[in-house]
Amino acid sequence: MKHACSYAATHAASLADPAAFWLHQAQQLPWDTPPRQALSQDANGFYRWFEGGKLNTSFLCLDYHVQQGRGQQPALIYDSPVTNTLRTYTYAELLDLTARFAGGLRQLGVGLSDRVIIYMPNLPEAVVAMLACARIGAVHSVVFGGFAPHELALRIDDAQPRVIICASGGMEFDRVVPYKPLVDDAISKAAHKTAKVVVFQREFVQGTLQAGRDVDYQELLQAEAVPAVSVPATHPLYILYTSGTTGRPKGVLRDHGGHAVALRFSMEAVYGLAPGETIFAGSDIGWAVGHSYIVYAPLLQGCSSVLFEGKPVRTPDAGTFWRLVAQHKVQVMFTAPTAIRAIKKEDPEGKLAKQHDLSSLRQLFVAGERCDSATYAWARELLGVPVIDHWWQTESGWPMLATLVGLEGMPAPRAGSAGHPVPGYDVQILDEDGHPVPPGTTGLVTVKLPLPPGCFPTLWNDDARFRESYLSTFPGYYFSGDGGYRDSEGYVYIMGRVDDVINVAGHRLSTGEMEEILASHPAVAECAVLGISDSLRGQVPVGLVVLKDGHPLAEKQVEQELVSNVRGQIGALACFRTVVVVARLPKTRSGKILRKTLRQLADGEDFAIPSTIDDPLIIEEITNAFRRRSLGAAFETLPENAG
């Protein structure tokens, strides 16, 4: 399917008159009350889309397609090798379940604008819960199952949910992870007291229900189906927490109207998917990719979406993704480069891929972290279809840079680059003073305001933090937190975060938060956490700690306690496994720890020792410490105890 317009003309039109461009896109959706205006500003001066319009995302995703004759088409294909389950839900079935579950939520007292936290793996029951919240105008917040109770408690206190919906457990490879005890622990840690907990019991692990508070998921499905309520376009649809530079996660807010318009547009223009076609996004519903391209965008566009519960490897093997593509005749696949690296590691010659008929596949899209050229080339050669690296963030909710396959005249994808700005995004690379940098020069990646529909209008309950974190660095621009450059042909290259955020296996984590946890240990005087290069996960965190004089604990014990504290507080997904005790940390004379220099040192990159360093000898001490531990790309091949 090709869009009538060329990329260049579409992008230019979207910037020349954003309101007219997006009002036209909005007309592709069945509004209850169509918006008369596209763009406005609220009392804070923040941009809002489609004020005055009314609709409901759950209606758009379900009822509308059934009315249009898609009732018998698969909406969701749940494929779970970890539980040996394959179940397809048609649009009519998904609508029925959602409408009844929405009725059940109402019976629990959930109403318009009430928050509902969902703590579940990739299960159809989780998708039903999301759509049911949307249906009654409640605001869901899905929390990734790998987060520990402390992190869940932070989100409970921020979102203040009336109800938490959880699964009794998840399956990590063949290891059962009981979720219910984690939820109980989080509730006891949180100051906010959640009224009700809904538990979806899985066959392999039973959650204990607390009388008076906990309800079985299946009971809610016995309720009468309820229709979708019409809500303003600016009504909140969901909150999705993401890591910032501190221990307090940021509640990225998404609204009904702009989100629906942008995601539908993206399905057509970015991914080139027509109604009736199939997408497989190998992500988790706990992340933005899962929200947008497992759940909402495919359903808004009348597509079929593969909901996969498992990992790219060992469930049961590194051919799982290819089996999914062949079996479900997937046209577009989306995953993180880490997943491809994991597959490549176990099946370097791609023998498993060759066992499947992958002829339905048109493109593989990758995002979530930088895609290294070797991974890009391997996937390209193996699959024989374009591999498209594209860049986005939880904040945007849909791609900001891409090679758009639904538009004509798009320059071909190029290894290392995330492509060109998507219509609606005026991506600019600025220097620290806010001036555009010339092509080829690395700077800070920004988007000139207004951000297009679908992007977060603000942070949940925190307009000040929204302004301060994203809008204050360069007035008139959204600052992404990434560094990058544009080449002379207009291709943009994203080089990584310039703040204290790292990307571990495509999961966004805060080193600042890990430092807070390390610093709270009684034996630690000071610390720094770095994200160092890792051949599988892209980056992994490493803690450098200076111990207090005279503390009674052995170094090894402190190291173990620190690893277990981070795992216990953030969760296993942080992959925080290494702590190195050092005598001192390199700092500027004003006391700022030289984290970037430390990371460059570990990664074996060229770096200049900053002239402001208080004592250059410390670099040599740290080099020796890295070498002793064979830590980082620069030292990993050296034998233990060298130097």
The binding site for ligand COA (CB under 6 A) comprises: 121, 145-146, 170, 172, 177, 282-283, 287, 289, 311-313, 335-336, 338-339, 342, 368, 505-506, 536-537, 572-573, 575
242 part of the interface to ligand AMP, by CB under 6 A: yes
370 part of the interface to ligand AMP, by CB under 6 A: yes
How many angstroms separate the CA atoms of 189 and 195, rounded?
15
240 part of the interface to ligand AMP, by CB under 6 A: no
Tokens linked to 205: 């692990």
Nearer to ligand AMP, 31 or 241 (CB): 241
Secondary structure class of 632 (helix, strand, coil):
coil
Nearer to ligand COA, 315 or 403 (CB): 315
Nearer to ligand COA, 105 or 502 (CB): 502
Which residue among 148, 383, 410, 494 contacts ligand AMP (CB under 6 A)?
Answer: 494
**Alpha helix segments (H runs only) across 291-427:** 297-300, 320-328, 337-346, 351-354, 373-383
Residues 413-452 that bind ligand AMP (CB under 6 A): 418
Q: Which of the listed partners (ligand AMP, ligand COA, none) does 335 bind, with a CB threshold of 5 to 8 Å by partner kind?
A: ligand COA
Which residue among 79, 482, 500, 534 contacts ligand AMP (CB under 6 A)?
Answer: 482
**417, amino acid identity:** S
Nearer to ligand AMP, 266 or 394 (CB): 394
Q: How long a stretch of residues is the chain?
A: 643
State in angstroms the smallest separation of the CB of 418 from ligand AMP.
Answer: 4
How many angstroms separate the CA atoms of 346 and 302, rounded?
35
250 part of the interface to ligand AMP, by CB under 6 A: no
Residues 175-214 that bind ligand AMP (CB under 6 A): none
Stretch that binds ligand AMP, among 109-117, 183-191, 323-331, 385-393 (CB under 6 A): 385-393
How many angstroms separate the CA atoms of 352 and 374, rounded?
19
Nearer to ligand COA, 283 or 569 (CB): 283
Instruction: Give yes or no for a contact between 271 and 303, defined as CB atoms under 8 angstroms apart.
Output: no
State in angstroms the smallest separation of the CB of 456 from ligand COA.
Answer: 17
How many angstroms separate the CA atoms of 591 and 612, rounded?
10
Nearer to ligand AMP, 419 or 543 (CB): 419
Closest to 434 in 3D by CA, of 490, 497, 477, 486: 477
Compute the CA torsion angle 227, 233, 237, 240 (nearest 10 deg). 170
φ, ψ dihedrals at 326, nearest 5°: -70, -50
Q: Would you give the distance in Å from CA 32 to the centre of its chain?
A: 30
Instruction: Give yes or no for a contact between 14 and 423, defined as CB atoms under 8 angstroms apart.
Output: yes
Q: Which of the listed partners (ligand AMP, ligand COA, none) does 336 bind, with a CB threshold of 5 to 8 Å by partner kind?
A: ligand COA
Closest to 33 in 3D by CA, of 300, 271, 257, 359: 257
Secondary structure class of 140 (helix, strand, coil):
strand
537 part of the interface to ligand AMP, by CB under 6 A: no
Closest to 134 in 3D by CA, of 63, 66, 197: 63
Stretch that binds ligand AMP, among 53-61, 229-237, 476-484, 582-590 (CB under 6 A): 476-484
State in angstroms the smallest separation of the CB of 539 from ligand COA.
Answer: 11
How many angstroms separate the CA atoms of 243 and 503, rounded?
10
Nearer to ligand AMP, 114 or 158 (CB): 158
DSSP string, 33-92: B--S-SEEE-TTS-EEESTT-EE-HHIIIIIHHIIIIITTSEEEEEEETTTTEEEEEEHH
State in angstroms the smallest separation of the CB of 527 from ligand AMP.
Answer: 23
Stretch that binds ligand AMP, among 8-16, 307-315, 384-392, 465-473 (CB under 6 A): 384-392
Nearer to ligand AMP, 469 or 480 (CB): 480
Tokens linked to 119: 């703590």
Nearer to ligand AMP, 46 or 392 (CB): 392
361 part of the interface to ligand AMP, by CB under 6 A: no
Secondary structure class of 450 (helix, strand, coil):
coil
Q: Is the dihedral of CA 292, 293, 294, 296 positive or negative?
A: positive
State in angstroms the smallest separation of the CB of 627 from ligand COA.
Answer: 26
Nearer to ligand COA, 62 or 318 (CB): 318
Instruction: Give yes or no for a contact between 150 and 161, defined as CB atoms under 8 angstroms apart.
Output: no
Q: Which of the listed partners (ligand COA, ligand AMP, none) does 494 bind, with a CB threshold of 5 to 8 Å by partner kind?
A: ligand AMP
State in angstroms the smallest separation of the CB of 367 from ligand COA.
Answer: 6
Q: Which of the listed partners (ligand AMP, ligand COA, none) does 482 bind, with a CB threshold of 5 to 8 Å by partner kind?
A: ligand AMP
Nearer to ligand AMP, 135 or 250 (CB): 250
Q: Is the dihedral of CA 189, 192, 195, 198 positive or negative?
A: negative
Contact residues toward ligand AMP (CB under 6 A) are 242, 288, 367-370, 389-394, 418, 480-482, 494, 496-497, 503, 508
